[in-house]
């Protein structure tokens, strides 16, 4: 049995506003995804949470 990882057509990446979140979005772009919609931000007074949707370019 082989482990084949199939890319999802749509991903909603979330995380704290830090280098790790930015790297995850950058990695998605490097792997054939494009930004979809505007980024979203939420703040609870202590930390900022970012969210960005991405879709596979080939599915547009």
The per-residue pLDDT for 12 is 98
Do the beta carbons of residue 28 and residue 7 sit within 8 Å?
no
Mean pLDDT for back-to-back runs of 10 residues, the chain (60 residues): 82 97 98 98 95 91
Q: What is the pLDDT of residue 1?
A: 59
pLDDT for the residue numbered 60: 73
Is residue 28 situated within a structural domain?
yes
Q: CB–CB of 51/14 below 8 Å?
A: yes
What lies within 8 Å, CB to CB, of 15 at 6+ separation is 21, 24, 49, 50
Identify whether 4 is part of a domain.
Answer: no
Q: Is residue 34 part of a domain?
A: yes
Whether residue 19 lies inside any domain: the answer is: yes
Q: Which domain holds residue 45?
A: 10-59
Query: Considering the domain boundaries, does residue 41 fall inside one?
Result: yes
**Domain count for the chain:** 1
Residue 5 belongs to a domain = no
Residue 2 within any structural domain of the chain: no
User: Is 32 a member of any domain?
Assistant: yes
């Amino acid at each position: 049995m082989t482990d084949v990882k199939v890319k999802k057509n749509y991903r909603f990446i979330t995380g704290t506003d830090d280098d790790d979140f930015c790297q995850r979005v950058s990695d998605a772009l490097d792997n054939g995804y494009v930004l979809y919609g505007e980024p979203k931000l939420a703040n609870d007074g202590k930390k900022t949470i970012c969210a960005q949707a991405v879709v596979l370019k080939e599915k547009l």
